[in-house]
Amino acid sequence: MRAIHELQPNALWQHFSAICDIPHPSFHEEQIREHLIGFARAHNLEWLSDDAGNVIIRKGATAGMENRAGVILQGHMDMVPQKNSDTTHDFTTDPIKAYIDGDWVTAEGTTLGADNGIGMAATLAILAATDLQHGPIEALFTATEETGMIGAQGLKPGVLQGKILLNLDTEDEGELYIGCAGGARMEITGQYTPEAVAGEFSFKTLAFSGLKGGHSGCDIHLGRGNAIKLLVRVLQCLQEHGVRIASINGGSLANAIPREASAVIAIPESALAVCAQIIDQCSNDISAELAVVEPDLQLTLSDAAPATQLMPLADQHKWVAAVSACPNGAQRMSDSIEGVVETSLNIGVFTVDEGKVCAHVLARSLVGSCNDALRDAVAGLFRMIGAEVVYQDSYPGWKPDPDSQVLKLMQQVYHDLYGKTPGVQVVHAGLECGLLGSKYPQWDMISLGPTIRFPHSPDEKVHIQSVARFWDFLVATLKAVPAA
């Protein structure tokens, strides 16, 4: 079986293979940062690492191209760490086990990191190449994009000299992206005083698994199940029969649609039979509702070790009701951009244990005021039950510029290569272009990438032939950049 470093374009895939070997989840980017700096030193390229953890590498123009406009190739260093529940993997120490599956490259039970490892690999291949034609290049590798866009937030104006930014972080080859949604994260917390178990209970684990999950921007329109919302839906039915919550563990990241959620519950011995019937009915109902989009969904009830403490009934009712009532998924489609979600919300994390409750929520919108309104509505809902709501990082959207000169150039280059005009899109996911453009308003920005499916989930995969087309298009674009 071929290894991924044997694929074409060979230089790109070799760099991607090396990236897969280096642990680089969000907030653990030290090793990939050192790899980039070591690469720059090995190739005698100018580099710097700023206070925000970004790495910038500069490469001069090739002979005869010195007068061309400077181009910034931009991607992010971190990857989303998601794995299947039956996969043993430590993202801070273990390499990604990437392999070829037909026309795709994917990973064994974990996210692949093609988002944004392919973008990084393409940039490194260009920086190392001696047979390409291009003007001055600056490579900007940003830190911790997936959780707060921290590197882009901390980038200082005036550091980069280029005029054109090519963001290599979108996931549909043949499409050029010229705008994106903004986002706002919230952390919702609460406390309760656990009470001792009193009465005859049978302890069980109620769990949803087998859902597809996915990217809370790119995949939010697909109507996939949110394991947290589904779990709370069942709990709401069960608590009418005296079922108590000992703990809940759902989701792991605000920007990933949760694939799994579980609760340790105490069922009164007298209600075991009726609760089993309710769970079976819920399972049948939900499976029927989501049969097309979630064919592998499972709701299971299994024995659990007895807990010593339970969430008080009043607190349980408040939190179950609030999470049940909280908006989730696509909220409104854009009036101006056909087929694009305007505003959405994702409940990505919900945990209850040892007197503490925590939820992480991410609102997105193409319209800043709509994002603010949705965020405030969710905050108001949870503040009504006494929760503390903290607005965390937020980032602006990227306003489309349909008259972009770089867009026109790249449409022509793509047509010359492939005999067709690329699509022009606005993505509901968050790209760093909004933040970067606020610091460098003179930049003309386009985002592009190969075809990646199911990012932010263990089903993530990248289409091999699309990587080759993406590479050829990127190389041809650099050659065609006009004089400054």
Q: Which residue has the tokens 């309710």?
A: 278
Active site residue 103: no
Q: Would you put residue 393 in left (φ > 0), alpha (ψ -120 to 50) or beta?
A: beta
Rounded (to 5) percent helix, strand, coil in the chain: 30, 30, 40
C-alpha distances in Å from residue 36, one per residue of 141, 146, 454: 9, 19, 27
Buried b (16+ CB within 10 A) or exposed e, 109-125: ebbbbbbbbbbbbbbbb
Tell me if residue 78 is catalytic: yes
Reduced to 3 states, what is the DSSP secondary structure of residue 317? Answer: helix
Q: Which residues contact 11 (CB under 8 A, 6 or more apart)?
A: 125, 128, 129
Q: How far, in Å, CA of 90 to CA of 23, rounded? A: 9
**Coil, strand or helix: which one is 39?**
helix
Q: Where are the alpha helices (DSSP H) in 250-387?
A: 272-289, 313-325, 368-383
The secondary element (H helix, E strand) that includes residue 20 is helix 10-20
Spot the catalytic one: 29, 115, 138, 145: 145
CB distance 86 to 109 below 8 Å: yes
Single-letter residue type at 362: L
List residues bridging with 79 in a β-sheet.
25
Q: How many CA atoms lie within 13 A of 254 on its CB side?
A: 26
Do 443 and 163 contact (CB within 8 A), yes or no? yes
Amino acid residing at 445: M
Residue 281 makes CB contacts below 8 A (sequence gap 6+) with none
| Angular region, 49: left φ>0, alpha ψ -120 to 50, beta rest | beta
Element (H, E) at 437: helix 433-439
The stretches of 146-226 forming alpha helices (DSSP H) are: 150-154
Catalytic residue (one of 78, 146, 172, 315): 78
Q: For 470, phi and psi rounded to 5 degrees? A: -55, -45
Is-contact 396 435, C-beta < 8 A? yes
- Position 30, amino acid: E
Separation of alpha carbons 287 and 289, rounded Å: 5
What positions carry a catalytic annotation? 78, 145
